[in-house]
Chain A
Amino acid sequence: MIEGEKVRLTALSPEFLPEYRRWINDPEVADFLSSIGFPLSLAEERQWLERMRRSGECATHFTIVTKGGEPIGNIALMDINYLNRNAQLGIMIGERDHWGKGYGKDAICTLLDYAFGTLCLNKVDLKLNVENKRALACYEKCGFKLEGKKREQIFYRGRYCDELIMGILKEDWEKTKSRRKA
């Protein structure tokens, strides 16, 4: 378990399967998720968790839990590359009443601490739909910098949208942290 200020990051758990399923099936939550599709059943969600477990990916996938113990979303470091010491971040806040309150930001900062501090990565990057203004603002607040734009990379709501690539270096992160402490 990794402690943040507002949340803690815990292991993925079968006990949260009904929540995982509800989040991913919520049209508003899933709006910007790239693996969008038909409604998922509990059995399909269980198979997903099994796959994560077998592949070992679950080691860097976490459920975001409030200090009050309520699961509100998932966050992950994916495609960890220990040669180049980088990884890709993905996050979903599934409980919509927790949107816009800093939970996502705290979860990301907590995970970045883990990525740079514990795993000694040099860089974390991520991709997002250019229309996803809420995510963009949050990533900027966490210290991610815009690195590029893939033109018309994503089919979203009937049209092609650009995809942004953002990244944060260990160096950026340490500066952000020292500024926050000062």
Chain B
Amino acid sequence: MLIETKRLVMRSIEPVDAGFLADLFNNSDPLDSGAPYDLVYPLSQEMEEEWISGIGGRSDEAHMIIEMRKGHRPIGIISVNEIDGRNASAALRIRLDEDSWDKGYGTEAVRETARFMFERLNLRRAWLRVDEDNARAIRCYEKCGFVLEGVLREDHIRNGGWKNSLVMSLLSGDLKEGKR
């Protein structure tokens, strides 16, 4: 089912979204917490189409387009990865179009996706990895109730330097409620 918030809808990714996703990953700042560390740039629309055709029907991960409820303009992508049913844990990843930063959309999307994971999928832990310099993303996760769990020392390269990642997690009882 769709995951809906006051301003946003999270829906399935369709072949028509390939161009949007290629732009999203090619144009925005790789400091964004959603940047997969092994991503190759630049991405072509064909590469995205191929990726989209392969993501369906999996029980261990799901990917969604975040779009505006009004007008259906896509503004980002949110993914739930490494869904581990036995241990009731899964990883979250989000990436928003730069034009949609600083409006609370990220917090809204993460909060409602986490709620969906807890209330509908019976998971009890959401976790993520974020670049330690990504203050905007860290603030967003903290607002949702995520807490710092640890530091992955110099686990990735950014702009020619070795950078730390933070691991943060949210347990189901600690979700900070916002307006729905």
Q: Do A and B come from one complex?
A: yes
Asked if B2 contacts A39 (CB within 8 A), the reply is yes
0/1 per residue, A30-50, Cβ < 8 Å to B?
A: 110000111111111001000
A157: contacting residue among B4, B11, B80, B120, CB under 8 A = B120
Do the beta carbons of B56 and A47 come within 8 Å of each other?
Answer: yes
Beta-carbon nearest neighbor of A21 in chain B: B12
B87 at the interface (CB under 8 A from A): no
Q: Is the CB of A39 within 8 A of B120?
A: no
* Bound: A31/B4 CA distance, A: 13
User: Who on chain A is nearest to B62 by CB?
Assistant: A38
- A-side interface residues, number (CB < 8 Å): 20
Residue B134 interfacial (CB < 8 Å)? no
Question: Which of B1, B3, B53 counts the most A-chain CB atoms under 10 A from its CB?
Answer: B1
- Contact partner of A47 (CB less than 8 A), chosen from B10, B11, B57, B121, is B57
Q: Which residue of A lies closest to B15 (CB)?
A: A43
B13 at interface by CB-CB < 8 Å: yes
Contact B53 A39 (CB under 8 A): no
The answer to whether the Cβ of A5 comes within 8 Å of any Cβ in the partner chain is: no
Q: Is the pair A44, B57 in contact by a Cβ cutoff of 8 Å?
A: yes
Cβ of A38 and Cβ of B80 under 8 Å apart?
yes
0 or 1 for each of B53-69: is its CB under 8 Å from A? (1 = yes)? 10011000010100000
Q: Are A25 and B56 in contact (CB under 8 A)?
A: no
- Determine how close the nearest CB of chain A comes to the CB of B75; give it in whole angstroms: 16
Give Cα A157–Cα B125 distance, bound, in whole angstroms. 16
Contacting residues, chain A, for B53 (C-beta < 8 A):
43
Check B119–A27 contact: CB distance below 8 A: no
Nearest CB of chain B from residue A169's CB, rounded to whole Å: 34
Are B119 and A25 within 8 A (Cβ)? no
Inter-chain CA distance A44–B56, complex, in Å, is 6
A140 at the interface (CB under 8 A from B): no
The answer to whether the Cβ of B122 comes within 8 Å of any Cβ in the partner chain is yes
Whether A158 and B12, one on each chain, are in contact in the complex, defined by CB atoms closer than 8 angstroms, is no
Q: How far, in Å, is B112 (CB) from chain A's closest CB?
A: 11
Q: Produce 1/0 per residue, B1-41, CB < 8 A to A.
A: 11110000011111100000000000000000000000000
Inter-chain contact A36/B12, CB cutoff 8 Å = no
B118 at the interface (CB under 8 A from A): yes
- Does A42 lie within 8 Å of B14, measured CB to CB? yes
Q: List 23 A-B contacts (CB under 8 A).
A: A24-B1, A25-B2, A25-B11, A26-B2, A27-B1, A27-B2, A27-B3, A36-B1, A36-B120, A37-B1, A37-B62, A37-B121, A38-B62, A38-B64, A38-B116, A39-B2, A41-B12, A41-B56, A43-B15, A44-B56, A47-B57, A157-B119, A158-B119
6 other A-B residue contacts (CB within 8 Å) besides A43-B15, A47-B56: A25-B1, A29-B1, A37-B121, A38-B12, A38-B62, A41-B13
Interface, chain A (partner B; CB < 8 A): 24-27, 29-31, 36-44, 47, 155, 157-158
Instruction: Give 9 nearest A-B pairs by CB, closest first.
Output: A41-B12, A38-B62, A158-B119, A30-B1, A39-B12, A44-B56, A155-B122, A27-B1, A25-B2
Residues of B at the A interface (CB closer than 8 Å) are 1-4, 10-15, 53, 56-57, 62, 64, 80, 116, 118-122
